[in-house]
């Protein structure tokens, strides 16, 4: 049977449409230039720039500044070239504040496996509310198992990926997590400069999450300041949770820092990408 060129072209077009994602049908793009509606902006300072000799007092100062959560960067000198603290220190800090905690485990697989329950427990709220526990995909051979253990132990399972790690490494666990953390610097030290090429990774993750109708926040960590090039670019790409360490501690009045970071993130959520 012979077909005219016009018929063949029509068949090719209809065939291509047949493979379009069903979830995107009828879904309108928002001002984000992506799918879905903007999510609530949250400012989450890392305690890495704090004075470890008075860590509890610095956590109280962050709470008074109006932050949404406080992040503890756990480093073991193996997965990253630095040492910070263990679960006991996080537990002591709970005596000073009621603000929710999140713990990012920048540790080796052996440490993750051995201490995951302890970190999940110490990250909980003052009344046992789930705290955010973040494991790195690079340190978890059995990532599904680690995320399941966090959920079973009463935590909020979340996953992080380093700058060189492609988004595809966590594509098959998005249904298991509450947060995805995109590292926008190489982990291990505070005060580093934001890596601009991470913006496209944020966009890709955002599209997957919305197309699958998942309730997942995107966090960014590293070099985040009250500038269009950092928090602005991340917010426009679809992130809504912003880890600001030195970028917040640089303010004499950290409450003012929280206000400026929040305002800029909301402004850029409304901009086209």
Q: Per-residue pLDDT tens for 6-32?
A: 444 444 444 433 333 334 333 444 445
Reading the block at residue 19, the tokens are: 């493979």
pLDDT of 35 reads 65
Please indicate, yes or no, if residue 178 is contained in any of the structural domains: yes
As beta bridge partners, residue 183 has 221
User: For the residues 163-187, what does the mean pLDDT come to?
Assistant: 96
User: For the residues 205-218, what does the mean pLDDT come to?
Assistant: 96
Please indicate, yes or no, if residue 122 is contained in any of the structural domains: yes
Measuring CA to CA, which residue among 247, 242, 243 is closest to residue 265? 242
CB atoms closer than 10 angstroms to residue 138: 19
Q: Contact, 220 vs 207, CB < 8 A?
A: no
Q: What is the pLDDT of residues 78-125, one digit of tens each?
A: 999 999 999 999 999 999 999 999 999 999 999 999 999 999 999 999
Please indicate, yes or no, if residue 53 is contained in any of the structural domains: yes
Report the run of H or E that residue 161 belongs to, with start and end: strand 156-161
As beta bridge partners, residue 83 has 76
Q: What is the CATH number of the domain that holds 216?
A: 3.20.20.70
Domain hosting 234: range is: 30-269
Classified as helix, coil or strand, 272 is: coil
Q: How would residue 33 be classed by pLDDT, with cut points 50, 70 and 90?
A: low
| Residues of the chain above pLDDT 90, percent | 80
Q: What is the pLDDT of residues 115-135, one digit of tens each?
A: 999 999 999 999 999 999 999
Please indicate, yes or no, if residue 131 is contained in any of the structural domains: yes
Q: Contact, 71 vs 85, CB < 8 A?
A: no
Q: Contact, 158 vs 170, CB < 8 A?
A: no
Please indicate, yes or no, if residue 14 is contained in any of the structural domains: no
pLDDT of 153 reads 97
Distance CA 101, CA 94 (A): 9
Distance CA 144, CA 193 (A): 32
Is the pLDDT confidence value at 185 over 60? Answer: yes
Q: Contact, 133 vs 150, CB < 8 A?
A: yes
Q: Contact, 182 vs 221, CB < 8 A?
A: yes
pLDDT of 188 reads 73
Reading the block at residue 175, the tokens are: 């249904």
User: For the residues 29-58, what does the mean pLDDT come to?
Assistant: 85
Please indicate, yes or no, if residue 241 is contained in any of the structural domains: yes
Distance CA 173, CA 169 (A): 9
Which of 29-43, 180-194, 239-253 has the highest mean predicted lDDT (pLDDT)?
239-253
What residue has token string 């060189």?
Answer: 164
Distance, first Cα to last Cα, the chain? 47
Structurally, the chain folds into a number of domains equal to 1
User: For the residues 238-265, what does the mean pLDDT come to?
Assistant: 95
Average pLDDT, the chain: 88
Please indicate, yes or no, if residue 113 is contained in any of the structural domains: yes
Please indicate, yes or no, if residue 43 is contained in any of the structural domains: yes
- Alpha carbon distances (Å) from 251 to 81, 83, 110: 27, 25, 38
Reading the block at residue 48, the tokens are: 């890495």
| Residues of the chain above pLDDT 70, percent | 86
Distance CA 209, CA 27 (A): 14
Which residues are part of the catalytic machinery? 73, 221
Predicted TM-score (pTM) of this structure: 0.87
Q: How would residue 271 be classed by pLDDT, with cut points 50, 70 and 90?
A: confident
Is the pLDDT confidence value at 203 over 60? Answer: yes
């Amino acid at each position: 049977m012979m077909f005219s060129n016009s018929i063949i072209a029509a068949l090719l077009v209809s065939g291509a449409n047949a493979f379009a994602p069903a979830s995107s049908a009828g879904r309108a793009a928002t001002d984000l230039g992506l799918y879905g509606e903007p999510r609530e902006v949250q400012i989450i300072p890392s305690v890495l720039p704090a004075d470890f000799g008075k860590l509890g007092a610095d956590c109280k100062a962050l709470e008074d500044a109006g932050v949404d959560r406080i992040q503890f960067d756990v480093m073991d000198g193996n997965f990253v070239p630095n040492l910070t603290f263990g679960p006991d220190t996080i537990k002591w800090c709970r005596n000073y504040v009621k603000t929710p905690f999140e713990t990012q485990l920048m540790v080796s697989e052996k440490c993750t496996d051995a201490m995951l329950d302890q970190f999940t427990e110490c990250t909980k709220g003052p009344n046992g509310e789930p705290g955010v526990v973040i494991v790195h995909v690079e340190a978890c051979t059995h990532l599904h198992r680690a995320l399941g253990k966090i959920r079973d132990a009463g935590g909020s399972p979340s996953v992080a990926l380093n700058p060189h790690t492609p988004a595809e490494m966590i594509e098959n666990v998005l249904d298991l997590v509450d947060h995805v953390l995109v590292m926008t610097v190489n982990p291990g030290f505070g005060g580093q400069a934001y890596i601009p090429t991470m913006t496209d990774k944020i966009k890709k993750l955002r599209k997957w999450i919305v197309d699958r109708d998942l309730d997942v926040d995107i966090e960014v960590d590293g070099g985040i300041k009250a500038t269009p090039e950092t928090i602005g670019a991340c917010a426009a790409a679809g992130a809504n949770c912003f880890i600001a360490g030195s970028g917040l501690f640089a303010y004499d009045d950290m409450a003012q820092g929280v206000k400026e970071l929040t305002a800029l993130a909301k402004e850029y959520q409304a901009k086209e990408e």
